[in-house]
Structure 1
């Protein structure tokens, strides 16, 4: 009870897990990068990287970098979308629940910066 109102607690729809401290922003530049980045879940696996970029660019503003993760073995994918401006990332948070492909996406602030991928080294 909260005052005279009954309260019902439901399980979280998102994973509540601690973030590996080595992945958290280490510099002021990375903190600023996080402010411009959103974490997007529940992306239809039929949606391409170009589709995600066009969706956010049309609604929110210029996408600086996009990392779409996942494979065809999982039912949905995730993405980190880094915008050119922090205001665009704030606008993107309002896209939670909007259907992209055939599923409603979930958008939340990113806790980690999208770091450039390290070049792959050949193993042969």
Structure 2
């Protein structure tokens, strides 16, 4: 009788990759599930990542693909429910993500639990 092949107890099964999505930043602090897309479009300022080990929570930050000129031109008001930031005096031209926020899954979408951080210069 043959013995089963030996297994290495230190080798773990591969961890599934996190799912990354892009979304608008509505003034309600809530993103409807149907508004998520896997396409990094410049008009979508929120990049969220759902980890398979905790699918009811997601981290999020400013999408590196977001059209910053458009966001700045609109006065950044649409970002207030998703991001903590201070507007500098005078002109500014760049947004930089400096900390992730957290979203909680609800029946039809995602609600902000903790705002992400932005640096504006």
User: By the TM > 0.5 criterion, same fold?
Assistant: no
TM-score (structure 1 length as normaliser): 0.24
TM-score (structure 2 length as normaliser): 0.24
Name which structure has the greater RCO, CA cutoff 8 Å, separation 6+. Answer: 1
More strand, by proportion:
2
More helix, by proportion:
1
